[in-house]
């Protein structure tokens, strides 16, 4: 069976030379980059805002054991119920228990990376429960049987022509339908589903400790419908999403919107503080928040790397990454792709299986530069590489190779012991596959510079 690293290399090779894919992804990311560049110019002092956002997240992670119980207590005061889930299996089972207890058969979902993380749709399908994505991008990739391609834009890898063909094949819309017509068709298909669904499931962009609320950010309004019409609303949120105060949204909402889509604010920003109250006309009868760990405390325990948990899921680092722009989101084989996925996935899902992601980087530092909460992403990549060595997760062949390299590099005479001809032979036979079949191996000269310099000086002395 092919391991994760081998699968990554094979998929990466396919995508790198897929010109249609490269054309589509670079066009779409280019549009985002132009919008983001305009959006961040609205900040009077962006550097100060990013520094403040980083400082707040630092305080939260250093005191997570205080902020999470504060959120729980305040949420429960308004009739909400909090469930703590250690891993994906616990979260899945708790959701199933809620659905079964209420005789539910249909679920309507808004966009949520945590539900992707626990593979909720597949799990519910195994138990004969229909789960429908209501975000347009998520709905499209669900029709295709694919996971999201991008943290913010799930169908970024598809052109409007490909989506038009999908709708034509599935719903008999015109093959040349415009994006507006396709959106209208999706609206027609989904609108009744909100009314029919037994359960509404969402994620949460932020958990607000001082009010016991969750904040949802979206551009389509589908999250509001998912959390309003069904009698039961379940929000699945990572434990790192907590912020101290409602007033902090004044900082985080604009940062998220500007770095994610270039907007001042996203179109719909919703704060939910529990089930429908007696004096309220809208909202669910029951509301649950599932606080998901699923490896996050493993990352929290890493003092140097816990800032990976500061991420607000804006997707800016993906759009900036030269590797992501060439190999695409699906290649990573993880819920969280791109630079941020590369630094957190080895801690969430295991260093042994996912250490290769920390090497899938040019270390150009652009990801750290664009991050709205100032995560040192490129530094975290290096720390992950260090941890892979310390934890002895590298293969014996790799360790032997580095040992031989170190032995040779520590002494010039050892480097010169093997001539250029033999070095070229080793490059062609041992390193050809690693370097890539589409690249030419470098040709080493017969003599090193040191050797030539020594001979030149010797000749000068003799003359």
Domain boundaries, the chain: 42-294, 397-462
The pLDDT of residue 401 is: 79
The answer to whether 216 touches 114, Cβ cutoff 8 Å, is no
Residues in the chain: 463
Low-confidence ranges of the chain (pLDDT < 70): 1-2, 436, 460-463
pLDDT at 403: 86
Distances in whole angstroms, Cα of residue 65 to Cα of each of 55, 69, 209, 240, 242: 17, 7, 12, 11, 11
Question: What token pair was written down for 235?
Answer: 């929000």
Predicted model pTM: 0.90
What is the C-alpha to C-alpha distance for residues 261 and 219, in angstroms, rounded to an integer?
A: 10
Which letter does DSSP use for residue 312 in this model? -
For the chain, helix (H) and strand (E) counts, in that order, are 24, 10
Helix (H, G, I), strand (E, B) or coil at 15: helix
The CATH number of 42-294 is: 3.40.50.10420
Model pLDDT for residues 99-138, shown as the tens digit of each residue: 999 999 999 999 999 999 999 999 999 999 999 999 999 9
Closest CA to 222 of 198, 249, 190: 190
Looking at residue 1, its pLDDT comes to 45
Q: Report pLDDT digits (tens) over 43-102.
A: 999 999 999 999 999 999 999 999 999 999 999 999 999 999 999 999 999 999 999 999
| Percent of the chain residues topping a pLDDT of 90 | 80
CA–CA dist 139, 152 (Å, integer): 14
Query: What integer pLDDT is reported at residue 443 of this predicted model?
Result: 86
CA separation for the pair 344, 367 (Å, rounded):
14
Give the C-alpha separation, 275 to 272, whole Å.
8
Integer Cα distance of 8 and 320 in angstroms: 20
E strand spans, 150-240: 199-202, 206-208, 213-218, 232-238
Q: Is 84 helix (H, G, I), strand (E, B) or coil?
A: strand
**Token output for 136:** 């347009």
């Amino acid at each position: 069976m092919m391991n994760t690293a081998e699968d990554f290399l094979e998929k990466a090779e396919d995508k790198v030379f897929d010109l249609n894919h490269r054309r589509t992804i670079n066009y779409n990311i280019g549009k985002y980059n132009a919008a983001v560049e305009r959006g961040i110019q609205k900040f009077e002092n962006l550097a100060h805002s990013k520094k403040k956002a980083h400082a707040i997240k630092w305080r939260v992670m250093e005191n997570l054991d205080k902020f999470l119980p504060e959120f729980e207590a305040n949420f429960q005061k308004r009739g909400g119920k909090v469930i703590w889930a250690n891993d994906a299996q616990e979260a899945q089972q708790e959701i199933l228990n809620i659905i079964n207890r209420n005789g539910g058969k249909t679920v309507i979902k808004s966009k949520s990376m945590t539900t992707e993380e626990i593979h909720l749709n597949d799990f519910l399908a195994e138990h004969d429960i229909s789960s429908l994505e209501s975000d347009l991008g998520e709905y499209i990739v669900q029709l295709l049987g694919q996971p999201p391609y991008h943290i913010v834009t799930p169908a970024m890898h598809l052109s409007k022509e490909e989506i038009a063909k999908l709708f034509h094949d599935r719903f008999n819309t015109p093959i040349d339908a415009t994006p507006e017509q396709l959106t209208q068709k999706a609206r027609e298909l989904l609108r009744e589903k909100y009314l029919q669904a037994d359960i509404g499931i969402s994620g949460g962009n932020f958990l607000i400790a001082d009010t016991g609320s969750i904040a949802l950010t979206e551009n389509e309004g589908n999250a509001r419908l998912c959390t309003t019409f069904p009698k039961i609303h379940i929000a699945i949120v990572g434990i790192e999403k907590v912020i101290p105060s409602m007033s902090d949204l004044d900082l985080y909402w604009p940062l998220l919107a500007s770095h994610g889509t270039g907007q001042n604010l996203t179109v719909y920003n919703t704060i939910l503080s529990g089930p429908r109250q007696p004096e309220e006309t809208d909202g669910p009868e029951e509301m649950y928040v599932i606080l998901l760990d699923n490896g996050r405390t493993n990352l929290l325990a890493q003092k140097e790397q816990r800032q990976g948990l500061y991420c607000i899921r804006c997707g800016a680092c993906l759009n900036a990454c030269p590797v992501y722009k060439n190999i695409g989101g699906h290649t990573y084989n993880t819920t969280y792709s791109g630079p941020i996925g590369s630094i957190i996935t080895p801690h969430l899902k295991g260093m042994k299986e996912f250490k290769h992601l920390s090497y899938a980087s040019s270390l150009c530092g652009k990801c750290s530069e664009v991050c709205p909460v100032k995560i040192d992403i490129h530094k975290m990549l290096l720390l992950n590489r260090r941890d892979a060595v310390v934890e002895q997760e590298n293969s014996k062949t790799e360790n032997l190779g580095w040992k031989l390299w170190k032995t040779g590099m520590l002494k010039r005479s050892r480097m010169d012991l093997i001539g250029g001809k033999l070095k070229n032979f080793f490059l062609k036979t041992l390193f050809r596959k690693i370097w890539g079949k589409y690249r030419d191996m470098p040709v080493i000269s017969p003599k090193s510079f040191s050797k030539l310099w020594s001979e030149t000086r010797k000749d000068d002395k003799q003359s």
